[in-house]
Amino acid sequence: MSGEGKTVSNTKNKYPWSNYTLKLGRGEPVSTTQYVLYAVQIAAVIILSYLSVVLLGPLSYSGISLFYFVYPFFLVFTMWWGIWGILGAYIGCVVGAGLMVGLGPVASGAYAISDLIPPLIAFIVYRGLLANRGIDSLWRDLTDKEVAGFKTNRVAAWVLFIAINGVIINAVSAELGVGIENYLGLIPPGAFWGWWAGWFFGDLLAMIIITPVLVKGLTNLVERQGLINRGWIT
């Protein structure tokens, strides 16, 4: 029958990722499958947040982990699923890295805002600004020389990745998170910068090591299933 063996092209635009923008979505309502997927990913982030804090035992303190490995997850989920990934980041932190490790609802609800900001900014910067300048908004150019036939610039991709996500956004997040904990009296005044450094480097390390693994291992799978959001919502 006609159509068999043809290659399906993602886009007629300049870059293979040009379909992924800052619009609201595909113009379709959220399907039941997507609805379920977003709920399940929030559950996954909750578990991973919890494991990020407790698995490293002596290397974590008061909700701060020196290897906060859930961080790259909700970054990647946001790049795939927009607002749902951001929601997952927030709820994941409140429940998994807050309530389940004993921080109480007030403290958890407040300092989880610092986990909401990084994916939000990353989504806007990459899809709104960098995607039209040859940088893949799905970060495949961190690991692949080519994306759907388009040659990538891995060096630029890594430099921007570390500068934007690893340094700038991470620093903002650490400042916010540790600041909130300080305001609530959870941190000794003399220890602010020690905690800040723990937060900053804990996230940075996890981001550099795990993001490429996730992107390489899963983005293609998610895209093949048609599950990458075109915009914020769908």
Partner 1 sequence: MAKDDVEARTSKKYVRTFIFSMKTGTPIEKLHVITKFFMIAAMSVLALYMFDISVSKGGPDIIGLIFLLIIVFALLIISGTSKYLVNSYLLLALPVPISEFIWWLFFDGGLPGAKVTFYLWPGFFPFGLSTAVLVLVFGVVYYRTRSFIIAVIPAVLLWWLTAMPGTLDFSPLTTWFKLPIGATSSFTLPYLSVTVALSKALGFAVLIYTSFLFLLTTRDTEIAGAMRQLGLSFKKSFFIALIFRSLNTLLIDYENIRMAQTARAAGVNRKSVFSKIIDLAYVSIPLVATMIRRSTEMGVALYARGFEASKKVTSFKETKGITYMDVTVIAILSAFLIYEVVLGHNINNLLIR
Partner 2 sequence: MTRTPVLEVKDFWWKYRSFVGVENPYTLKGLSFTVEKGEFLGIIGPSGAGKTTLCYALTGIIPKVFSVPYGQENEHIKGEIKLFGQTLTKVDKVKDEKTGNMVDRVVGMKQTAPRVGLLLQDPENQFLRMDLLHEISFGMELLGLSEGEIESRAKEALELVGLGPLWPIADLVHPSELSGGQKQRAAIASFIALRPEVLILDEPTSNLDPEGKLGIIQAIDNIKKEYDITIILVEHNPEVIQKYADKVLAINDGQAIAYGTTEQVYSQCKLFDENGLYSSDIARIGWKAGLSYNGRVPFTVDEMLTAFGGRNQKSLAPNLEDDPIDESAQEIISVKDLSFSYEDGTQALKGVTFTIKQGEYVGLIGQNGAGKSTVSKIISGLYKKFQGEAKVNGMDLRDKKVIQKIPCYVGYVFQNPDNQIFMRKVYDEVAYGLKNLKVPQQEVDQRVKEALKSVGLLSKIDEDPMFLGKGEKRRLTVASILAMNPKIMIVDEPTTGQDFKMSEDIMNLLEELNKAGTTILVITHDMTLVSEHTKRVIVMHNGAVLYDGSTRGFFSNEELLDKADIIPPMAARFSLEYKKKNPAAPNLMNVKEWVTALNHVEQTESK
Residue 218 binds partner 2, judged by CB under 8 A:
yes
Per CB under 8 A, contacts with partner 1 among 40-79 are 40-44, 46-48, 54-55, 57-58, 61-62, 67, 69, 73
Residue 103 interface partner, choices partner 1, partner 2, none, CB cut-off 5-8 Å depending on type: partner 1
| Alpha-carbon gap, residue 46 to 57, rounded angstroms | 18
| Alpha-carbon gap, residue 122 to 101, rounded angstroms | 27
Q: Nearest Cα to 74, choosing from 50, 95, 48? A: 48
**Span from 15-23, 26-34, 133-141, 163-171 in contact with partner 1 (CB under 8 A):** 26-34
Residues linked to residue 147 through DSSP beta bridges, in sequence order: 150
Residue 11 binds partner 1, judged by CB under 8 A:
no
| Alpha-carbon gap, residue 206 to 225, rounded angstroms | 27
Among 31, 55, 167, 191, contact with partner 2 (rule: CB under 8 A): 31
Tokens of 100: 């389940």
Q: Nearest Cα to 207, choosing from 180, 234, 167, 177? A: 167
Among 39, 129, 159, 163, contact with partner 1 (rule: CB under 8 A): 39
Residue 28 binds partner 1, judged by CB under 8 A:
no
**Residue ranges binding partner 2 (CB under 8 A):** 1-8, 10, 31-33, 148, 216-218, 220-221, 223-226
